[in-house]
Homo-oligomer: A and B are copies of this chain.
Amino acid sequence: MDTVRLEFGKNLRKIRKLKGFSQEQLAYTAGIDRSYIGKVERGQVNLTIEKLYILAGTLGCSPKDLVPDQSKVGADDSKPRT
């Protein structure tokens, strides 16, 4: 039920490394706390779309590249929590 976070984190990590950023570098240029980047990549937090755009912007990629497709996430993530 939290596969969205996990998949998002995997995407972020992949693109971040692809672009040659360290967590610290990304955090600094994005104006986000370094430990928070780590938490995002580990799927521990549920970030807002504002952060989504800031991250995509500083990584030079599309926000759509970061959000996982529904096929990747559990069906439960697309339903209201019980």
Contact = CB atoms under 8 A, between A and B. Distances in A.
Given A48-B47, A80-B31, A69 B73 contact: no
A69 B57 CA distance: 11
B50 A49 contact: no
Contacts of A73: 53
Nearest to A78: B57
A28 B40 CA distance: 29
Given A53-B77, A53-B78, 18 more contacts: A4-B49, A8-B49, A30-B80, A46-B49, A46-B50, A47-B48, A48-B48, A49-B49, A49-B67, A52-B67, A53-B73, A54-B80, A56-B78, A57-B75, A57-B77, A62-B70, A63-B69, A64-B69
